């Protein structure tokens, strides 16, 4: 169901819902014929699956490989095809930048241009972050009429540009021509109301070009993913619950903040996250806790490392279970099979453990093959929250 309907049907309760997101959870068999989950020693997850309802989630649509944004938004109850978050906004979230609703954010890339202004290296030789920092400080000196300018280093040749002011629009084209040998493009408005914003951005680029001229290889920049925060209903309001997010990585904190969750300060490791969860257990009704390593190992194409990451998170399952939430979900935002060495479109193992009203299936373990036969079937990830809400006694009847 969509969040509007959820908002209509949700009722307050004292029950707790815990959502563990294992980033990049799903896998694909390697030459052995078995996937990371099938080969890893994940006895706690396997046992939990036997006491749960299992299935596979489709993050966006069959065949669609999701980025981190849509993958998480779906698990937070949003239709990821309806609520799209621009790259500029994700970049801001990724560095914990406190993006305001009126802000316009862009992902910036330093690049190299020749004497004729043609791009010779779209990534400025991937200069190190410590070279990007002073360049960003320099660009902050650029003044634009009526708006505040923020320029923040991200990593390597990447930075974040934010304009803050009234009436900014994101109906704009990008300046990166996506190839070398040509000059960067001007920003163009794709709607009349964006003309003033396009003018401001082109003025920024023009002043930046002068400031950067002597800083080869970073003697120019491009702007991509010009975007404002999309208007989104608040997940905690729609669900009538207090929701907290615990994530060591800023991107996931940012996504949680975007949907209205309270982001709890935590440390850099999953053990820190668990500690934070325990400390705040009494204060919230819904907890999103994020485990990153499985995705990182999958991205690296490291089958063994992904198995070890899964075994690490498996070691925390009993701790999570011991908190006795009325509903506990173990989910992934998408698959990151080591054999793909990247995100993929494959449906993602999912389990929902509830104290009451459960139809157990015969699932013997927590993996792709077993979950495919689970009682929940293969279903859109955006429906997971509704199921959890139902099992937590937080939804009333639809229609008389």
- Does 281 participate in binding a copy of itself (rule CB under 8 A)? no
- Does 249 participate in binding a copy of itself (rule CB under 8 A)? no
Residue 195: in which H helix or E strand, if any? helix 195-212
- Does 181 participate in binding a copy of itself (rule CB under 8 A)? no
331-350 residues near a copy of itself, rule: CB under 8 A? 337, 339-340, 343-346
- Does 32 participate in binding a copy of itself (rule CB under 8 A)? no
Q: Which residue of 22, 25, 60, 218 would you call a contact of a copy of itself, by CB under 8 A?
A: 60
Q: Where are the beta strands (DSSP E) in 23-171?
A: 53-58, 104-113, 119-121, 148-155, 158-164
Residue closer to a copy of itself, measured from CB, 24 or 217: 24
Minimum distance from residue 186 beta carbon to a copy of itself (Å): 23
Pairing of strands 377-380, 53-58: parallel
Q: Which two tokens stand for residue 352?
A: 């929902």
For residue 157, which phi and psi values (nearest 5 degrees)?
-90, 5
Q: Which residue of 57, 197, 276, 386 would you call a contact of a copy of itself, by CB under 8 A?
A: 386
- Does 309 participate in binding a copy of itself (rule CB under 8 A)? no
Residue closer to a copy of itself, measured from CB, 214 or 396: 396
Q: What is the CA radius of gyration of the chain?
A: 23
CA–CA distances in Å: residue 161 to residues 134, 150, 156, 297: 14, 6, 15, 30
Q: Which residue of 13, 43, 50, 64 would you call a contact of a copy of itself, by CB under 8 A?
A: 64
- Does 33 participate in binding a copy of itself (rule CB under 8 A)? yes
Q: Which two tokens stand for residue 329?
A: 């979900």
**Which residue has tokens 């934070």?**
276
* Total Cβ atoms within 10 A of residue 364: 13
Minimum distance from residue 377 beta carbon to a copy of itself (Å): 4
Residue closer to a copy of itself, measured from CB, 29 or 315: 29
- Does 69 participate in binding a copy of itself (rule CB under 8 A)? yes
- Does 397 participate in binding a copy of itself (rule CB under 8 A)? yes
- Does 323 participate in binding a copy of itself (rule CB under 8 A)? no
Beta bridge partners of 250: none
Q: Quote the CA–CA distance of 77 and 2 in Å, as a whole number.
A: 7
Q: Which residue of 7, 13, 29, 233 would you call a contact of a copy of itself, by CB under 8 A?
A: 29
Q: Which residue of 3, 9, 149, 200 would you call a contact of a copy of itself, by CB under 8 A?
A: 9
Q: Which residue of 7, 13, 84, 202 would you call a contact of a copy of itself, by CB under 8 A?
A: 84
Residue closer to a copy of itself, measured from CB, 112 or 292: 292
Q: Are 58 and 68 in contact (CB under 8 A)?
A: no
- Does 375 participate in binding a copy of itself (rule CB under 8 A)? yes
Q: Which residue of 290, 361, 366, 370 would you call a contact of a copy of itself, by CB under 8 A?
A: 361
b/e burial code for range 334-356 (CB count within 10 A of at least 16 → b): bbbbbbbebbbbbbbbbbbbbee
CA–CA distances in Å: residue 181 to residues 115, 204, 206, 242: 12, 22, 19, 53
The residues near 171 (Cβ < 8 Å, ≥ 6 apart) are 189, 190, 191, 193, 194
CA–CA distances in Å: residue 103 to residues 94, 153, 155, 228, 233: 16, 17, 21, 6, 18
Q: Which residue of 17, 19, 90, 113 would you call a contact of a copy of itself, by CB under 8 A?
A: 90
Q: Which residue of 15, 39, 68, 109 would you call a contact of a copy of itself, by CB under 8 A?
A: 68
- Binding residues for a copy of itself, per CB under 8 A? 1, 5, 9, 28-29, 33, 35, 56, 60-70, 80-81, 84-85, 87, 90, 225, 337, 339-340, 343-346, 356-362, 368-369, 372-373, 375-379, 383, 385-390, 395-400
């Amino acid at each position: 169901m969509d969040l509007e309907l959820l908002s209509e049907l949700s009722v307050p309760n004292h029950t707790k819902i815990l959502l563990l997101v294992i980033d990049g959870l799903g896998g694909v068999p390697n030459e052995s014929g078995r996937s990371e989950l099938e080969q890893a020693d994940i006895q706690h997850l396997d046992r939990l699956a036997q006491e749960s309802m299992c299935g596979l989630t489709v993050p966006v649509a069959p065949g669609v490989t999701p980025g981190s944004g849509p993958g998480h938004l779906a698990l937070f109850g949003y239709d990821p095809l309806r609520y799209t978050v621009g790259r500029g906004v994700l970049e801001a979230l990724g560095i914990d930048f406190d993006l305001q609703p009126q802000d316009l954010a862009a992902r910036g890339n330093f690049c190299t241009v020749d004497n004729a202004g043609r791009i010779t290296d779209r990534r400025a030789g991937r200069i190190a972050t410590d070279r990007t920092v002073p360049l960003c400080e320099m660009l902050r000196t650029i003044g634009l009429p009526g708006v505040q300018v923020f320029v923040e280093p991200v990593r390597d040749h990447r930075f974040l540009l934010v304009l803050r002011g009234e009436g900014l629009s994101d109906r704009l084209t990008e300046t990166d021509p996506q190839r070398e040998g040509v000059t960067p493009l001007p920003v163009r408005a794709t709607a009349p109301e964006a003309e003033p914003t396009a003018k401001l951005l082109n003025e920024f680029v023009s002043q930046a070009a002068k400031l950067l001229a002597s800083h080869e290889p970073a003697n120019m920049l491009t702007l991509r993913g010009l975007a404002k925060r999309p208007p989104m209903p608040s997940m905690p309001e729609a669900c009538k619950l207090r929701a907290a997010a615990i994530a060591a990585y800023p991107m996931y904190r940012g996504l949680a903040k975007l949907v209205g969750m309270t982001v709890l300060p935590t440390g850099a490791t999953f053990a820190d996250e668990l500690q934070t969860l325990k400390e705040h257990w009494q204060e919230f009704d819904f907890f999103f806790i994020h485990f990153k390593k499985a995705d990182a190992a999958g991205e690296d194409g490291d089958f063994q490392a992904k198995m070890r990451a899964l075994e690490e998170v498996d070691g925390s399952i009993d701790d999570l279970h011991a908190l006795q939430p009325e509903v506990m979900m173990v989910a992934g935002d998408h698959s990151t099979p080591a054999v793909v060495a990247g995100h993929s479109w494959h449906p993602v193992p999912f389990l929902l453990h509830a104290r009451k009203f459960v139809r157990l299936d015969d699932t013997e373990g927590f993996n792709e093959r077993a979950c495919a036969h689970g009682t929940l079937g293969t279903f859109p990830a955006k429906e997971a929250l509704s199921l959890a809400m139902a099992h937590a006694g937080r939804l009333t009847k639809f229609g008389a």
